[in-house]
Amino acid sequence: MTSRTPGRRAVPLPSLAVLASGALLLGACSSGSGTGPDEGASASSDPVAGGDLRFAITVDSRCIDPQQVGNNDAIAVARQTVASLTAQDPDSGEIVPWLAESWEVSDDASSYTFHLRDDATYADGTPVDAESVKTNFDAIVALGATASLGSQYLVGYEGTTVTDAQTLTVDFAAPSAQFLQASSTFSLGLLSPASADLTPEERCAGDFVGSGPFSVQSYTQDQEIVLAKVPGYDWSSDADEHTGEAYLDTVTFPVIPESSVRSGSLASGQIDATAAIAAVDQPQFDGNGFWLEQRANPGVTYQLFPKESSPLASDEAVRVAISKGIDRQQIVDTVLTERSEPATAVLSHSTPLFEDLGDALAYDPDGAEQLLDDAGWVVGDDGIREKDGQRLSTTVTFWQDPAPLELVQQQLRQIGVDLQLQHVEIAESTAIKESGDFDFDYYNLTRSDPDVLRLIFSANARNINDRAAEEVDDLLDRSAAATDPAERGQLVTEASRLLVEHGHAIPVYELSTTIAASDRVHGLTFEGSSRLDFYGAWVQQS
Amino acid sequence: MGRYILRRAAQGLFVLWAAFTIAFFVLYLLPSDPAALAAGAGGEVADVDPALLDDLRARYGLDRPVLVQYVDALGGAVRLDFGPSYQSGAPAASLVAAAVPQTLLLTGVALALAVVGGVVLAVASVLPRSRALRQVLSALPPLGVALPTFFIGLVLLQWLSFRAGLLPAIGNVGWQSLVLPAVTLAIPPGAQLAQVLSRSLRGTLGEPYVETARAKGAGRLRVQLGHALRNAAIPAFTMLGVMVGALLGGAVVTETVFSRVGLGRLTVQSVNAQDVPVVLAVVVLSALVFVVTTLVVDLLYPLLDPRIERASTPRTVAA
Amino acid sequence: MTATTTGPRPPEEIEVADREDARSILRYGRARRPRAAGPAVGRAARHLVRRPGLVLAGLVLLLVAAWATAPTLFASGDPITGVPADRLLPPSAAHLLGTDHLGRDVWTRVVHGASLSLRTTTLAVVVGLVVGSALGLLAGFLRGWVDDVVGRLVDVLLAVPSILLSLAIITALGTGPTKIAVAVGIGAIATFARVMRAEVLRTSTSVYVEAARASGSRWWTVLGRHVLPNSSGPVLALVALEFGGAVLAVSALSFLGYGTPPPTPEWGSLISGGRDYLATAWWLTTLPGLVIVAVVLSANRIARALETTGEDQ
């Protein structure tokens, strides 16, 4: 079909194209440092009311009902819309008054009486009274599985008794020492009684009325959520320095799924702050017109959870050797941020009653190899150990960022363990966990109370290890009933030590949240569970 | 003519039904548990009481035998009711409907850009008298087809948005936020169109009737654009259906890179979350679009080239 | 995914010089082109010398195939284990393409990734080719209701967006190179079926084949000896074209999170994994990306050459 003139030579088109594309792309991608808006040196340190703060989140999980959310981004939004009975001081971990001025806990921690303040109202003006609190707790229980966190806190809930307009008593069938801290979480945040009549879908869409400093102004799925301040709000917790209404008029949460787009947007001033800047991009926001604030998430650290009914994970020598063979500091130095910490206990250091387990989690490859040698695992030709014809090869199933585990895999290969990485989507990972078809699980659980240890590890609770009850479970269960902090702390620490010694828990590193914001943002900080707190935040008006 | 339309419509209905059925059973095979997913609400699944999970499953009708679920879903689909989304409980159909206008806008603008850009590039690569210029311009379309879309998008963002600050990187508001995504999306199909069109143009430039037009003394420009384009448009027109498909597929990536609301992102997120009702709704919608598009293209063909009879329509022209 | 535009010329424009021309017209629908003189090798060499672009494309693909078969010849390091202290180093003499976030040498990973990437891509194209051509062959040769059924099948495949199809298949079957290949290949079936069908229709309606059938040859003889060989030109060109398309499709799937699990290197996951570092360590995405661009361009160039060769017969 093509007519050819004789003697015509074709220019090497592919090479031309490759060169052209190379030039284009290389030109675009020379390393640049963050070009954030250069803030003037002296900024007034007096808070200014008004303005909008744009805070980027990574995903819209289609629900912003505080009593139903479980995803960090949704929590960042939902937390601002509700007040809770109590609050937790982010520095001391102490439970302080919020909507409840005072409380009494029965000796066996199965009955809690709260005395509410008399001036708090929901955003629609209805008073926060004992009856409305009862409505809330009953509704959470009725939500069932969709209120996954809340129903966990209310396990054994028998009912709420209303004594008078300002007094109520919550009763449990069994001791529940964690409930006081639970009452400070967003999952047990209070919504107006009218909200309990809505369907779960309507509540997810943001139609509810809350008790917090902000309320939902608009919610465009997958795009952005806008919160507006509640006028007349005046019942802040004792953990907040600020009182009265929030400073900001609105907080906008645009949804930006791509990591490099979030970094670029912050650097170019298209957003004001975010908590989702990748570790490698963070250095450009350390100064230069920006600031960083990091806090370790309280609760159980990121760790490998062996399922001890699977062949290799049932061998204690293997488990402990794996724990010894992980160089936690190297992981932190290589793939995490400057201020991240390796795990030094099963709980992270920002959890109340945390205690460092010292050498129990030191990097000890020689000790690991000794353990495996003594157990009869012989190094094979490919560097992986074998025993009775079986290779020391096992799998960890997870959905999170694989970089830390890639390093763990590398480190374990040096002691002769082959750790295979099964990286799946969240949906698939829940299915796999439920079917029980895995060797090692991997996640963290953020909770500012040591009860999370019992919840996960006790053979009488979730029993993540799928094992029979041992001495450690007795300690864990007793910690659920201990009301004296010192006694509770002792039980928890002893239990943690046993968990690590027997390889039931293999902590790796602490999850932390880092806020990256431009210098015009002030007062944005963390609350007790390392969740974001916009109540005291304000922006410099340009 | 009427019979032809009826026959095509019946075939279209069959395609819709088949697409729905295949999608339903493929999704049914998915290994996850939607109830656990809904309970987790996007985060880690806490230790939920299994009885509560069973309640949730019953609420979504997931405990019934698969054929019953299928018939129920099919009945609903006919009424455009796909049930509640597993993630939020909102009706899946309304979620999809809300996402359509944005995607329509994006793909519409991208299609226009692709067509205009493709035509301009194709004509520009045969028009100039300088061979060097022609060669350079001919090298561009293969490049446009060879670059991954997300790469183009991210590089454009770095250049034009983060460094130069000319255009916004995020958001759905205003025409400015449409420029970068539309350009990114338009590049691969535009480049393909340019390739096909320029090849056709080079071919038809030797056809006898073009020679005739030249001999009559018409200006070079008029000859090329007037006659050659019209004839070369036929194979390019065949591509239209393919281009629309490519645009919808490319929209998935583009919407994610540019943080835009739309069908593409909804699809990916729903497949990730295994939110079956939403995925089914998307499948039915896209099948519908495809069926309607091909029908329209088929009907318009004879108008373009009377030589082609309707009975032996596009099938004999290699697509 | 792609389109080709061969088609018959109206009869009044074909000049019939002699018997050979007539035979050629019956067979291929067009008159012969004048052949240059000389032995076949010399002709081929002269043909290639006039097309340095084609030569370059061939060399690129040969190089990449060499990487796939003997990676250690080109990169002796370890693609899986890196030195964490050497993370994110820009390209230098020691590390041709720099290092990644775990200190692994990018050049080594690109070379070792060729094997997996090419295997995945080839499998995807083979799936599309075999299934699509079989369908197209059946539809074009047998026509009638078979044609209708196949047509509907192809329509259904086209009606569901290929991304959705791929995602659903991968989610249902799990990740892994084979499943990714199948998912991408299924998206290519429709194109192969259409092209094969068009070609088969064209050749099987030629007088030559009708004559062969009428003279009593079995249908499979007709198929194997006459129809298939003459239909294969554009299909082969499509293979090269779809090869490039499959490489891009795999990288798009990696971008969406459905790529090969770590730490195995594979081009698609290399460039989508590196995109988070675009502003700070551009070499992670850009350089493997250039490799992909080179491969796709070369494949497309070869596809064009195959098309025009078919026409020149």
Six-digit token pair at A449?
């109370």
| Interface check C87 vs A, CB under 8 A | yes
Distance, in Å, from the CA atom of A362 to the CA atom of A323, rounded to the nearest integer, reads: 9
Six-digit token pair at B99?
């996402």
Which of the residues A406, A419, A421 would you substitute to probe the C interface, choosing the one with the greatest number of C C-beta atoms within 10 Å?
A406
> How near does any CA of chain A get to the CA of B146, in Å?
10
For chain B, the structural domain boundaries read: 2-78, 95-318
The tens digit of pLDDT for each residue in B243-300 reads 777 787 788 888 888 888 888 888 888 877 778 888 888 888 888 888 888 788 777 7
String of DSSP letters for A414-433? HTT-EEEEEE--HHHHHHHH
Which residue from C minimizes the CA distance to A399?
C257
Partners of residue C257 in chain B, C-beta under 8 Å: 272
Domains of chain A: 15-295+513-539 (3.40.190.10), 299-510 (3.10.105.10)
> What pLDDT sits at residue A319?
93
Mean pLDDT, all residues of chain C: 80
Q: Answer whether residue A78 shows pLDDT above 90.
A: yes
Classify residue A210 by its DSSP letter.
B
Distance, in Å, from the CA atom of C182 to the CA atom of A404, rounded to the nearest integer, reads: 30
> Quick check: C102 and A335 CB within 8 A?
yes
Strand, coil or helix: A255: strand
Rounded to the nearest 5°, which phi and psi values hold at A507?
Answer: -65, 145
Distance, in Å, from the CA atom of C255 to the CA atom of B257, rounded to the nearest integer, reads: 10
> What pLDDT sits at residue B318?
40
For chain C, the structural domain boundaries read: 119-312
> What pLDDT sits at residue A85?
94
Long-range contacts of A122-126 (CB under 8 A, 24+ apart): A122/A190, A122/A191, A122/A192, A122/A209, A122/A210, A122/A211, A123/A192, A123/A209, A123/A210, A123/A211, A123/A215, A123/A230, A124/A192, A124/A194, A124/A209, A126/A192, A126/A193, A126/A194
Q: Residue written as tokens 């990091």?
A: A294
> Quick check: C278 and B158 CB within 8 A?
yes
Residue A238 one-letter amino acid:
D
> Quick check: C262 and A413 CB within 8 A?
no
Q: Answer whether residue A316 shows pLDDT above 80.
A: yes
> How near does any CA of chain A get to the CA of B256, in Å?
6
| pTM for the structure as a whole | 0.81
> Quick check: C261 and A278 CB within 8 A?
no
Residue B216 one-letter amino acid:
K
Strand, coil or helix: C262: coil
ipTM: 0.77
Distance, in Å, from the CA atom of A73 to the CA atom of A78, rounded to the nearest integer, reads: 9
Classify residue C190 by its DSSP letter.
H
Six-digit token pair at B49?
């009481």
Confidence category of residue B312, pLDDT binned at 50, 70, 90: very low
| Interface check C163 vs B, CB under 8 A | yes
From A98-107, A359-368, B192-201, the region with the lowest mean pLDDT = B192-201
User: Per-residue pLDDT averaged across B181-191, rounded?
Assistant: 91
| Interface check C178 vs A, CB under 8 A | no
Q: Answer whether residue B120 shows pLDDT above 80.
A: yes
CA C268 to chain centroid, in Å, comes to 16
Classify residue A16 by its DSSP letter.
H
Residues 406-465 of A with CB under 8 A from C: 406-407, 409-410, 413, 421-425, 427-428
> How near does any CA of chain A get to the CA of B288, in Å?
24
> How near does any CA of chain A get to the CA of C299, in Å?
10
Mean pLDDT, all residues of chain A: 86
Confidence category of residue C8, pLDDT binned at 50, 70, 90: low
Minimal Cβ distance to A335: which of C101, C263, C293: C101
> Quick check: A402 and C261 CB within 8 A?
yes
Minimal Cβ distance to B146: which of C198, C244, C275: C244
CA atoms within 13 A on the CB side of B42: 21
Strands A273-274 and A52-56: parallel
The tens digit of pLDDT for each residue in C228-266 reads 777 777 788 888 888 888 888 888 888 877 777 777 888
Instruction: Give the H or E element holding residue A395.
Output: strand A393-398
Confidence category of residue A262, pLDDT binned at 50, 70, 90: very high
Report the percentage of chain B scoring pLDDT > 70.
76
Contacts of B71 (CB under 8 A, 6+ apart): none
Partners of residue A258 in chain B, C-beta under 8 Å: 154, 256-257, 259
CATH number of B95-318: 1.10.3720.10
> How near does any CA of chain A get to the CA of C220, in Å?
31
Residue B149 one-letter amino acid:
T
C119-312 belongs to which homologous superfamily? MetI-like (1.10.3720.10)
Task: Kindly list the partner chains of chain A, i.e. chains with 3 or more CB atom pairs below 8 Å.
Answer: B, C
User: Per-residue pLDDT averaged across A41-56, rounded?
Assistant: 79
> Quick check: A334 and C84 CB within 8 A?
yes
